[in-house]
Each structure stands twice: as C-alpha cells, then as structure tokens.
Structure 1
Amino acid sequence: MTGPVDRRLAAPQQPSSTGGARAFRVLWTGQLFSLLGSSAAAFCLALTVYSETGDASALALVVGASSLSMIYLAPLAGAVGDHFPRRHVVCLGNAVLSVVSLLLAWQVGQFTAAEGDGFRTILLLVFLAGTAKAALSTTLSATVRELRSERDLSRINGLTSLVETIPTVSGPVIGAALYTTVAPAAVFAFEAVTFALAGALAATVRWPAAERPGRDRRLRPFAGARRGFRFILADPGFRTLQLVYAGVNFFAGLATAVVTVYVVTSSTAGTEEWNLAAFTVAGPVGLLLGALVVLTVGGRGSRAAVIVTALVLGALVGRLTPALVAVPVVWFVAQLVHQAGVQISNAHATAVWQERTPRHLQATVFGARRLLGQGPFPLAVILGGVLADRFFQDGAALPEAAGAIVPRLAEDGGGPGLLLALCALGQAALALLLAASPRVRETVRRP
C-alpha cells in the first residue's frame, strides 16, 4: 500500500448533510450518556477496590487492565470496526458494555460482601470492557468524517472533545452520590443503563452508506491491523507526526508518575490535600477550556502553528513553570494551560487523520495510531515511578547538582521537580522538531 493511492481514496463523495448531521447528533448524545455512566463507575470501582483491599497495587492493576486493552488491542479492534458497518459496531459495542457493567454490578456486590473474593473476575471484566471500548472509540472517531461534511473538522473535534470531557467533571459526583446513598453495585447498574440507551439511540437513525472499495468479506483482524500500520509508516509526514506524539506521550507518562509527588512534597504542612485536590480539578477544567477554544476558533490560523504552539505552551507553561515555582496558584493555572494545550493539539491532529485517511480504513488506522502514539505512555508511567524513587528524590545527587544552577531544585520537592522539568524540556524539543519538518507541515495543512 502506498501513500498516494490511499490519499486518492480519502475523498469520496460527501455524506448527506441532513441525514449525516442528524445521525451525528443522536450518536454523540448517546455517547454523552454512556461516558457519564462510565465516569461514575470508574470512580466507584477505584473507591471500592481500595477500600476493600487497602492496596495501591490492586488499584493500579484495575486501572492498568483497562488502559492496556484500550491501547494495545486498539489496532485489532479498529480492524474489526472497519470490517462491519459502523452502526452495527456502535450498537453491539454498547450492548456488550451494558452486559459487562451488569456483571460488574453483580461481582462488586459479591466482592464487597466476601471481603476481597472475586478480584480476578473484576480484572477480567475490566479488561473485556477496555477491549469493547477500544472498538467503540475507534469506530466513533471514524464516524465523524463519515457523518459530517463540514470542511473544518477541527471545530467538530472540539465538539466531540467537549462531549467526552463533560462526564469527567460530573461523572464522579454522580458516582459518589450513588455510592454513598445506595450501594456500589447501583453505580454499575446505572452505567449499564447508559450504555443500553446509547446503543438504542444509535439504532434509531439511518446512517449514510459508506464506501468500502474492494473490502474482503472475511474477517481478518491481524491482517487489517497490519494494513493500518503500513498506511502510517508508508507516509513520511505521518511517520514523523507519530514519532513526535509517541515521544510527547512518553514524557507525559514520566510526568504523570511524579506530578502528584511533586505537589505533595512541595506544599507547606497542612495544605497538601487541598493543593492536590485543586490541581486534580484543574485537569478536567483545562480539558473543557481547550475544547471550548477549539469549538469557537478551530478554523482560524495555520494548523501546524496551532499544534506546535499548544504543545510548547503545554510543556513550558504547564510543566516547566510549576516545577520551578513553588506557588499553588501557579500550579493550578499551569495545569489548566497544560490540559487545554493537550485538547487543542489533539483536536487539530485528529482532524488531519480524518481528512487524509480513506473513510473505509479510518477505524483501522486510528487503532494503529493509538498504539503507536499512546503505547509508550503506560510503560513511561512505570519507569517514571522507578526513576522518582531512585534518582529524583529530594537530596539525591541529581537534584543537588541541579540546585547549584536553579536553587529551587535543592528545596523541598526539588527532586520530583527536576524530573518534571526534564519532561517539559523533552516535550518542547519534540514540538520544535515537528515545526522544523516540511513534510509534517505539508501533511497537516488544510486541504
């Protein structure tokens, strides 16, 4: 498969503006409901597992089981999503997730009643849910180009990002209310209802027919996944874009492992909890802010300049500044800027892939893209924890040496701050590499 051939396939006739727009609205309304249930259930599951086991490693296993399947099985899930009609994949995916949520409701009830029994079953169900979500999310990303004919896909991605972010703020509140007033199992029953509702809404609309030239009727997910990787690796611009985002996510993983430690150790006595709570809340608020910015002004300016600027500001303001300034208000604002930058750069980058990937291959390519771009993140989180414990503790050799140049790094929190600063500089350097590549500039240019 060659890049030019695929590019010619990427621009078939536009979908019906009326039918596609209505399907888009109904589909993403259902997605809003299902994400609300998922966010509430994720909060409840974390709280339940930790309260019953008192073990941070058990909590990490639950989070890891979901993220690993969503990232590392994404290429296979995307190939499956492209093989079948997207409407069927969305409906079936929501139905599977609804059943898994009901099983989790039952198992969580047994888990809390039996003092920890059934933890392996919970891990298995979480892994299965992550796999279904991988197929569903890659298919949903592919439907954007199939259902909407607007030229400015960046703004449309701002809208979908807004839908995906709102539940991260309100979902935990709903989860906490149900958890404390009813029972943990009720939260998963609520999640099951939201998935069923999303699937039912998707089944009510008539989607425009999608072109799938030369599709092999046999389901071959591994061959399909290889096709997605070949599409990306055959294009120099896409290769560089993926390399940069893989590096950015690697440094993001290292920073994720240490940022909580930094906030806690840099806080004055008695303020740790409040500072960490404010910093945590700033994350989803920043995502909402970034989505609103894209939705409002997504079509203006050079797309390459927007992507690079968002990455650089997110790194230097969002990560380097708080590492060098021990002021909680600065941390809060920096986290807002960082998460807004993530949202803005991702929305514009996703628009590039939607424009230049053949519609019948979009779920396949998006699955491969997720693995190539996000695959380093979980490994970097683990590595970051190891580095923070061994080389970037307060008083260790590296922070002490850096403190001779930047005195802040020799103070409380300076060790984790040094690792945070190095991650910020790494991300900024990769963004500048993106800006310097003429092939990337041509790839991200609006058609």
Structure 2
Amino acid sequence: MRAFLVIWFGQLVSIVGSGLTSFALGVWVYLTSGSLTHYSLITMVAVLPTLALAPFAGAIVDRYDRRRILIYSDLAAGLNTFVIAALAYTGLLQIWNIYLIVAVTSVCNGFRGPAFNAASTLLVPSDKLGRAAGLSQMQGAASRVLSPALAGFLMTVIGLPGVVFIDVLTFLFSIIALLIVRTPMRAEAPAAGVRRSILAEAAYGWTYTRRRRGLVAMFVYFAICNLVLGIATVLFTPFVLSFGSAALLGTLMSVGGFGMVAGSVFLSVWGGPKKTVNGVLAPMLVVGVAMVLVGARPAPIPIAIGAFTYLFAVPILTGCWQVIIQKKVEPAVQGRVFAIATLVSWSSLPLAYLVAAPLVEKVVNPLLAGPLSETVGAVMGTGPGRAIGFLFVVMAGVIIAAAIGGFLYKPLRFIDTNLPDAADERVFDNSASADLSPQPELIPENPAAVQL
C-alpha cells in the first residue's frame, strides 16, 4: 500500500497542477478570442484523442511495465506543458497552438488513466481497493476545489507563463515519485504464447469485455448517464449566470467541489458497499434528486445543496465502477478493459457538448414559451434560464430511470455474483488460440434471495 500512496500523492500534485493550467488557459482563450465556440471545441479536443486511442493504449498498458508508462506519459505531458509556458512567455501563443497542445495532452492522459488504474490493482490488497478508489477520486476533487482559486490568484501575480511553469514542476514531482517506487507493475500474461500485435491484443480486449454482459451493461449505463451529465455540465454556467453573478457561480462551484472532496473522503474511509454494484446504481438516484434541486427554482440555497449532493455522489459511483473492474478483470487484461470502459462510457460526451446549446435554444425554449407556457411555465416560470432549469428536471428523470433500469437488468444488478473475482476465475490465455467460447451466466435462480 505504501508504494500506491507514494504514486498517488505524486499524481495528486500533478493533477492539481494540470488544473491550474486548464483554468488559466480557459481564461486566456476566452479573453483572447471572446468566443464560446473555441472554448467548447477545445473541450472536445481534450476528449477525442483519448477516446480514439483507448483500445490501443490499453493494449500497450497491458504489455509493458505500467510504472514506466506513467513516467513516459508524465514526461511527455510535462514537455508539452513547457512548450505552452515558453510560447506564453515569448508572447507567441496563439489559439491554434492550444488545440494542438491540448490534443497531445489528451493522448498522454489516454495512457495515464488506464496505467494508473491497472497499476493500483497490483499495489493494493483486494480488501482495500474501495478505499484506494476513494483516494483516486480525491485527485480530481482536489483539483476542482484548489486549482481555480489558486490559478485565479496566481494569474494576477505571475501571469499565464508563471502558472503554466508551476504545472511543469508538478509533472517533475510526479515523475520523481514514480522513480522512488521500484515495485514491478507489469502483470504477466497468464499463459505462455507467441506475442501478438498491438492490434490483435486490442481486439482481444474487446472480445474479453464483450463476453461479460455485466461489464458491457455497466459501460453502456455510464454512456447514457454521461450524455445527460455532459449536457448539465455545459449548461450549469449559463444557468447560474442567467439570474446570478459570476461571484455566485464561483461560490456554487466551490460548494460542489467541496461535495466531491467529501464524497471521496467518505468512500476512502468506508471502502464501499458489500455489493459493489449498489455503489454504482444507488448514488445515481441521488444524482437525479440533486438535479431536481438545481433546476426547480433559481434560488442559491437549493442549488448549492443540489450541487454539493450531486458531486458528493459522483466519486462514490465512479470509485465503485473502478473497483468492479479491478476485482472482476484479470490484471493482465485490465489496461485494455479500463481503456474500453473509458471509450464506451465517454463516447456520449462529444455529443453532449454539441447538442447542449441547440437543445435549449431550438427545442426547450420554444416549448416553454409556447405549448408548455401555461402548464410547466406556470410552475417553473418562463424567465431567463428557466428553460435550462426545466431541462435539468427532465434530465433528472432520465438519470433516475437509468438507475432503476440498472437495478432491473440482471446481468448488471448481479454483476458481483455473475462474474467471479479475477483471483477465482480460470486463466484466460492471451494467445491467438485462446478459448473465446461464451461462458454460462451465473444469475441466481432466486434473485430475490440475493442481498442488495
């Protein structure tokens, strides 16, 4: 566990540093171009390369030492960040540079995520995976809380070049932490065989995942939820600014960030439910209720409660999602499965970013001003931002329906018993002659007798 904590702390510092750069560049892009389009497109560029490379990145993570992959990923990302600092310092930074640099960083993150998650399995005892997942979620939570405030202050003191250079130093800190740990982080293939191409190993990852209906269902479940949550993420800022100030927006985002920290700490102390899938499904019901609180009325207090509750639940469900993969998938295949999980679960995010604004402007606004004005409009109002508020409530219904559907779909509901833990599962041969015939499902004969 000590090796995990050393690497975790290095990654924590690096992720907070990356949050500084992300916030500072977002401000710079908007102030330089005055265009929300550039901001949205850069957000998409930050996601698409990770998705495109996911299956191949996972195969590489499974083939080589995950510690080295983390080192190379951080080194490449650090050098990439240094280029930003140099361009900003010399006054040569342009918008098109940001697109290219963000794309390179996205490639690095495509390797870092599966490598860190798969390496954690090798470093953490099985009974402590839930707590380790909580610590992992705390990295993003800390960045959400600390980075905007620090970056906003540092921008006024040392400017964009100084803020970005601090990020470079945090990458060096992470690399040093990885160099300190000498524990091997490569899961050997479970059976001897001729090494196949990266393409063939990536294809095996798809086959391995496809045979496990519970995993497929969980990834599709997250893709559906991420479509809704991605739209909500894009619309939250204009929703708050439609009736409040930028200061109120900052306060509400900070409250949400503290909720995420609290949820991460809670999971790291608790370790998650006995049936891990309940930690994936039940918190999504909480997310749905929180979205109703956010959208129902343009009032700061219920929105703050909703934002805190929403982000309190997110690290719990994401951490439990991670633990299921770590427990149910053999370490030798986890890089590929984590990468496929990212690809499927995030596949809906680009669509969410594209449809969010047109959905409000072309669909919900006309409905609320026309056919629904005397029904929904009489309850929720028809003033500025109420179309987004109404959409939040509708999307809350979709989230709650998805969670209920997950409970009703047996391969997902019983994934803890359908799939044996990796330590108890027969060895899957990674060679070309591996037995890929379907295995029987292990759904209990009496589902009502299974403890939830």
Q: Distance in 2 between matches of 1:215 and 1:105?
A: 47
- Tell me how far 1:261 sits from its aligned partner: 2.9
The CA deviation string for residues 183-237 of structure 1, in whole angstroms up to 9 with x for no partner, is 3112222111211221122122221463223577868443333222222222111
Distance 1:108 1:131 in 2: 22
User: Sequence identity of aligned pairs in percent?
Assistant: 21
Between 205-214 and 424-433, the greater mean CA deviation after superposition: 205-214
Counterpart residue number, 1:325: 297
Per the TM alignment, residue 40 of structure 1 is displaced from its structure 2 partner at its CA by 0.8
Contact 2:367/2:373 (8 A) holds in 1 = no
The answer to whether 1:373 aligns with 2:345 is: yes
Q: Do residues 232 (structure 1) and 212 (structure 2) align?
A: no
Question: Once the 2 structures are TM-superposed, how far is the Cα of residue 296 of structure 1 from its aligned partner?
Answer: 2.1
Amino acid corresponding to residue 148 of structure 1 in structure 2:
V
Say which is worse superposed, 341-350 or 159-168, in terms of deviation: 159-168
8 Å contact from structure 2 (residues 69, 115) kept in 1: yes
Corresponding residue of 1:201: 177
Q: Secondary structure at the match of 1:73?
A: helix
- Give, as a single letter, the amino acid of the residue that structure 2 aligns with 1:78: G
CA contact (8 A) 1:98 1:196 kept: yes
Partner of 2:379: 408
User: 1:213 aligns to what?
Assistant: 190
Structure 1 residue aligned with 2:9: 29
1:394-446 deviation digits (Å, cap 9, x = unpaired) = xx234644454443334323311221112111111010011112221221359
Once superposed, what is the RMSD of the aligned Cα atoms?
2.2
- Picking from 151, 164, 167, the partner of 1:175 is 151
2:276 counterpart of 1:303:
yes
1:187 alignment partner, one of 160, 163, 167: 163
Give the alignment's TM-score, normalised by structure 1: 0.87
Aligned match for 2:328, one of 356, 363, 368: 356
| Deviation, structure 1 residue 120 | 2.0
| 1:303-341 deviations in Å (ceiling 9; x for gaps) | 33332220011112x112222233210001101111111
Which residue of the partner structure matches residue 279 of structure 1? 252
Q: Are residues 1:49 and 2:29 paired?
A: yes
Alpha-carbon spacing, 1:343–1:366, altered in 2? closer, same or farther (3 Å): same
Structure 1: 5+ residue runs without aligned partners? Answer: 1-20
Specify every segment of 5 or more residues in structure 2 that has no aligned partner in the other structure, as ranges: 422-452
Question: Which aligned pairs between 1:5-404 and structure 2 lie closer than 5 A?
Answer: 21-110=1-90, 113-114=91-92, 118-208=94-184, 210-214=187-191, 220-265=197-242, 267=243, 271-316=244-289, 318-393=290-365, 396-398=366-368, 400-404=370-374
CA contact (8 A) 1:287 1:336 kept: yes
| Cα distance, 1:37–1:174 mapped onto 2, change above 3 Å | same
Amino acid at match of 1:274: A
* Contact 1:399/1:414 (<8 A) preserved: no
Q: Determine the C-alpha separation between the residues in 2 that align with 1:226 and 1:339.
A: 35
Shift of 1:301: 4.6
Query: 1:153 Cα deviation (Å)?
Result: 1.7
Q: Distance in 2 between matches of 1:173 and 1:256?
A: 19
Shift of residue 354 of structure 1? 0.7
- Structure-2 change in CA distance of 1:329 and 1:151 (3 Å): same
CA separation of 1:252 and 1:164: change in aligned 2, threshold 3 A = closer
The farther-off stretch of 179-188 and 325-334 is 179-188
Preserved contact between residue 72 and residue 375 of structure 1 (Cα < 8 Å): no
Report the Cα distance in structure 2 between the residues aligned to 1:411 and 1:272, rounded to whole angstroms: 20
User: 1:402, 1:315 → 2: CA distance?
Assistant: 22
Measured in 2, the distance between the counterparts of 1:217 and 1:203 equals 31
Q: CA separation in 1, counterparts of 2:155 and 2:58?
A: 34
Give a deviation string over 1:337-396, Cα, whole Å, max 9, x none. 111111111111110011111101111111111010111012112112111111122xx2
User: Which residue of the other structure, out of 377, 391, 396, is the alignment partner of 1:424?
Assistant: 396
Shift of 1:49: 1.9
Give the letter for the 1:92 counterpart: Y
Per the alignment, in what secondary structure is the counterpart of residue 390 of structure 1?
helix
**TM-score, structure 2 as length reference:** 0.86
Q: Deviations for 1:80-103, whole angstroms, at most 9, x for unmatched residues?
A: 222211111111111111111111
Contact 2:232 2:392 in 1 (8 A): yes
Aligned residues: 416
SS state of the match for residue 162, structure 1? helix
Describe the shift of the 1:423–1:45 C-alpha distance in structure 2 as closer, same or farther (beyond 3 A).
same
Q: Return the alpha-carbon distance in structure 2 between the equivalents of residues 329 and 23 of structure 1.
A: 42
1:442 equivalent in alignment to 2:414: yes
The answer on whether the counterparts of 2:283 and 2:316 sit within 8 Å (CA) in structure 1 is yes
